Amino acid sequence: MSLVQVTEADGGSAGPASVDAEGRVDRRRLRRRTIGVGGWVGAGVLTGVLVTALIGPLTGGDPLAQNFDAILEAPSAAHLFGTDELGRDVFVRVVFGGRTALAITVVSAVVASLLGLVLALAGALYGGWVDALTSRLADVQLAVPSIVLAIVVLSFVGNSFVPIVFVLVLGSWVLTFRVIRGHARAVVQQQYVEAARVAGAGRLGIARRHLVPSVLPLLAVAFTINASSALLLESSLGYLGLGVQPPDPDWGQMVATGQAQIFTAPWIALFPGLAVVATAVGLQLLGDGLAERFVGGPVTRRGLAR
Amino acid sequence: MTAAPRMITLDAELLGPEPADDRVLRVDDLTVGLRPVPGDSAEPIVDGVSLRVAAGRAVGLVGESGSGKTLTALAVAGLLPSAIQVVGGRIELADRELTGLGEQEARAHLAASVGVVFQNPTASLNPRMRIAAQLREALPAGTSRRRARERSGELLTAVGIADVHKTLGAFPHELSGGLNQRVVIAMALARDPKLLIADEPTTALDVSVQAQVLDLIDELRERLGLGVLLVSHDIGVVSDRTDHVYVMSDGRIVESGPTTQVLGDPHHAYTRQLLAATPSRLEPVRVAERLLPVAEPASPVADQLEVRDVRRAFTVRGSAGRARHVALDGVDLTVTKGQAIGLVGESGSGKTTLARIIVGLERVDSGVVFYEGNPVARHTRAQRRQWRREVQYVFQDPYSSLDPRLTVAQTLREPLEINFPGLSRGEVAARIDSLLDEVELPRSFRDRHPSELSGGQRQRVGIARALATEPSVIIADEPVSALDLSVQARILRLLARLRIERDLTYLFISHDLAVVRYLCEDLVVLREGSVVERGRTDDVLERPESPYTRALVDAIPGRGFARS
């Protein structure tokens, strides 16, 4: 009897190093799990792109300044990426074009992720017709190719910042929605959420305390993938002439105009194209890294990419 | 040979008259440890275990989770997980030394001489394969299709399955847990093993089914002359079914000998502690002399909870299309202030559904739930809030009932902030501390995450969370069934103490009559959604009126042992 009292902690085997009765959890291993080499490379590339886009204008270059004495010059110390058919500095244009492209990408990825998150949580929390409605919306959205939708919308309302963001959000919220909804529905059925209900928590409280924290990792992964698909879509629109209009620079649009000189002055199309690829790959690598980081958690990249 | 002399003499007594070649399994000084990882010093998980199993005999291996009993069994069966290996010692199986054989040879020898039955039958069967295919897989390679079919039929007949044809064509989910476990046993027997290792073979099953499966193993042991190594945490099962027992703790065998002797007159402190924690050995707590009979309606003021003619059915989708499963079929229940009522029944009897309905986690198809005389569905906002606060729930599974992301303090803060919005930060912190004190957890546990707690500690946090709202009624759904025996006993004592200190009313759901007998004065027996018997616990257990209750009482393992 006295022995029962001596072993104070129930199940003495479970010390603070976290070994529970059924499965062993090695905290050191958990902590060691990072976003991996690829993730760091992606993060590095993205940081480089973002920093360049942010501080680029401080160098005093003007993306619209034409210099007819230096038309179609190859890359040199004076013009890092060369000049285009109007004598504009391609490097400066890539930097400024990046500002537009990245701003549109980030804003639409944020809005898309939030929209997806809110609809998914609402669906999971309320169930019933709310869930049915949001899911059907997502199905409808998936059935319409986003590029077609974008072309239609943009050719009717014109192509300023807001409509472009609008079509990009339409094209990418479903991804976040689906990923989050699946996970949130599983979490809502967990006993700890039931316990919160018994304690008197409302839906908002449950969402704030239990759901949002548990879907945050997923949201981070979904965000990077959203952003890369938004960037690609934005560039495609620019390429098709439906995005940012000349003379303002934009990566996709620069690739399209540079195409004419692809054999005489390949740098005009090459560098903005490279910028798109680098940013998109950076986002993907970071997304993969984050997904890897949360392995053992709710989802793998493969599960997300669908 | 580090084994104590006493053990050897006892062994000799037990096996004395039998020739040595009757010995199926002989394990000497077995040591099992983690595969060494650079930088980690590997401590043995199983440390110098020696045991013997003779043909036609059942040997028990008892211990709590983490004691190494399962790893010992897995080592014998050659099924250790890849991170764990046999470090030292000898295993001699059916007259062949296993440790000396090459990998191929060892595997062939194991396949031919050991059959293993695990705890959860549904987990050991492949859900996408028909029983026939799984049995065929278990038969020796190269068995012809025709022979396999015959043999499968024989095996299923041998394990007492009547409708062989239908069972062969079924998928595991179409069979009950008991039937599935019979199939697993049939698979274990498929290669005519000499030794049957049964690792908690009945823990996942209902009591009455449990008895049948254990009877089956007994019968097979006698008929086929199998040696049986029965690994279990359940002292009752071991005392009923084995003639020799080894008690394990922290990777070592601390005591061994003939079962009656070890359990009747334990020498080692750990064995004594284990025995003292067995629910059927706990002295029942009887608080209330002010008890009112359950069946008669008392004065309305005293009724805290009342359930009137509640019905609930679920739609189940099966291979045969949709079916209605009636979980509750018109149940009446009255819970009076201060009572502790045990709600007993086998799985599928509707006891959990009833509890969930009472706390509002499940809706009713028809019928009314009253709280303090008012139907819950028609509560005003204030009444509803009060009901939410007063009636709390303790969940069965301490692993999924705590949010893995929240610390203990954050978990406890939630009900406090919701129900007492006026509290300052400091007051909330003080309440969290006193709740931890109440459930006997150190205050330093505040900042721990659930992954840093053992099952019993988690369940204490779950209880503290239920207490946070200052409830008067606690509904506990199998709160100790997922825990080890000694932890179970401590949690039960905690619940008994809290009941007295806080003047709580309990509705306690359990499949374990011994647990209910300890904590509850009154008992309600549910079967297939209806109440079959109710009354005082002691009366019902002494003189069960309905045949179903009697069967339940008779099926409790270790009854003789509990009385001794």
pLDDT at B291 over 50: no
Question: How high is the pLDDT of residue A73?
Answer: 77
Mean pLDDT, residues B499-523: 89
Q: Contact, B261 vs B238, CB < 8 A?
A: no
Mean pLDDT, residues B352-378: 89
Average pLDDT of chain B is 84
Question: How high is the pLDDT of residue B419?
Answer: 92
The question of ipTM being above 0.90 is answered as no
Distance from the Cα of A4 to chain B's closest Cα (Å) equals: 7
User: What is the Cα–Cα distance from B513 to B345, expressed in whole angstroms?
Assistant: 9
pLDDT at A114 over 50: yes
- Residue A99 counted as domain residue: yes
Chain A hits for B389, Cβ within 8 Å = 200
Cβ <8 Å between A209 and B277: no
Question: How high is the pLDDT of residue B324?
Answer: 77
Long-range contact set of residues B537-546: C-beta below 8 Å, sequence gap at least 24: B537/B284, B537/B342, B538/B284, B541/B513, B541/B517
* Structural domains of chain B, ranges and CATH numbers in brackets: 53-76+104-277 (3.40.50.300), 303-563 (3.40.50.300)
User: What is the Cα–Cα distance from B107 to B248, expressed in whole angstroms?
Assistant: 27
Mean pLDDT, residues A159-182: 90
Name the residue with tokens 């303002």.
A248
Cβ <8 Å between B403 and A192: yes
- Residue A44 counted as domain residue: no
Chain A hits for B440, Cβ within 8 Å = 8
pLDDT at A112 over 90: yes
Q: Contact, B52 vs B10, CB < 8 A?
A: no
Question: How high is the pLDDT of residue B11?
Answer: 45
- Residue A2 counted as domain residue: no
Q: In a 10 Å sphere around its CB, with 0-12 CB exposed, 13-18 middle and 19+ buried, how is residue B7 labelled?
A: middle
Conformation bin of residue B326: beta by default, left when phi > 0, alpha when psi is -120 to 50: beta
pLDDT at B290 over 70: no
Q: Using CB atoms, which residue from B276, B389, B399 is nearest to A4?
A: B276
Cβ <8 Å between B483 and A201: no
State the amino acid at position B101 in one-letter form: L
User: What is the Cα–Cα distance from B385 to B368, expressed in whole angstroms?
Assistant: 18
- Residue A5 counted as domain residue: no
Cβ <8 Å between B451 and A11: no
Q: Which of B189-203, B209-223, B421-435 holds the top average pLDDT?
A: B421-435
User: What is the Cα–Cα distance from B288 to B500, expressed in whole angstroms?
Assistant: 9
Residues 275-304 of B with CB under 8 A from A: 276-277
In A, minimum Cα distance to B381 occurs at: A200
Q: Please write the tens of the pLDDT for every residue from B210-256.
A: 888 899 899 989 988 899 999 988 888 888 899 999 999 888 999 99
Domain count, chain A: 1
Distance from the Cα of B413 to chain A's closest Cα (Å) equals: 11
Strands of the sheet containing B366-371, edge to edge, are B321-336, B303-318, B366-371, B374-375
Q: Tokens at residue B338, please?
A: 């201060």
Residues belonging to chain A with any Cβ–Cβ distance to chain B shorter than 8 Å: 1, 3-4, 7-11, 13-14, 16, 18-22, 25, 27, 190-192, 194-201, 205, 209-210, 213-214
Which has more confidence, B481 or B340? B340
Sign of the alpha-carbon dihedral angle for A125, A130, A132, A135: negative
Is the previous residue joined to B442 through a cis bond, with omega within 30 degrees of 0?
no
Q: Tokens at residue B70, please?
A: 């399962």
What is the DSSP pairing of strand B366-371 with strand B227-232?
A: unpaired
Question: How high is the pLDDT of residue B320?
Answer: 58
Q: Contact, B509 vs B352, CB < 8 A?
A: yes
Distance from the Cα of B454 to chain A's closest Cα (Å) equals: 5
User: What is the Cα–Cα distance from A145 to B315, expressed in whole angstroms?
Assistant: 38
Q: B355 pLDDT band (50/70/90 cuts)?
A: very high
Q: Please write the tens of the pLDDT for every residue from B311-348.
A: 998 877 655 566 777 889 989 998 888 889 999 988 77
Cβ <8 Å between B401 and A196: no
CATH number at residue A125: 1.10.3720.10
Q: Contact, B502 vs A233, CB < 8 A?
A: no
- Residue A13 counted as domain residue: no
Alpha carbon separation from A163 to A47, A158, A167, A248, B334 (Å, rounded): 27, 7, 6, 17, 63
User: What is the Cα–Cα distance from B507 to B355, expressed in whole angstroms?
Assistant: 8
Chain B hits for A216, Cβ within 8 Å = none
Chosen for mutation from B362, B418, B478 (greatest number of chain A CBs closer than 10 Å) is B418
Question: How high is the pLDDT of residue B561?
Answer: 64
Residue B47's CB is within 10 A of a number of other CB atoms, namely: 20
Alpha carbon separation from A274 to A98, B24, B380 (Å, rounded): 11, 72, 65
Q: Using CB atoms, which residue from B65, B272, B401 is nearest to A192?
A: B401
pLDDT at B195 over 90: yes
- Residue A26 counted as domain residue: no
pLDDT at A56 over 50: yes
**Enclosing domain of residue A179:** 89-305
Question: How high is the pLDDT of residue B17?
Answer: 42
Mean pLDDT, residues B425-450: 92
Q: A141-145, A297-301, B90-94, B302-306: lowest mean pLDDT where?
A: A297-301
- Residue A77 counted as domain residue: no
Mean pLDDT, residues B11-40: 68
B447 inside 8 A of chain A by CB: no
Nearest to A256 by CA among A264, A268, A274: A268
Distance from the Cα of B65 to chain A's closest Cα (Å) equals: 6
Alpha carbon separation from B513 to A107, B241, B537 (Å, rounded): 61, 20, 9
Distance from the Cα of B499 to chain A's closest Cα (Å) equals: 19
Global pTM value: 0.77
User: What is the Cα–Cα distance from A227 to A38, expressed in whole angstroms?
Assistant: 17
- Residue A79 counted as domain residue: no
Q: What angle do CA B111, B117, B121 make, to 5 degrees?
A: 130
Share of chain B above pLDDT 70, in %: 90
Nearest to B531 by CA among B247, B346, B332: B332
Alpha carbon separation from B541 to B221, B331, B551 (Å, rounded): 32, 21, 11
The angle, 0 to 180 degrees and rounded to 10, between the axes of the packed helices B177-189 and B207-224 is 20
pLDDT at A16 over 60: no
Question: How high is the pLDDT of residue B560?
Answer: 61
Q: What angle do CA B460, B363, B509 make, to 5 degrees?
A: 35
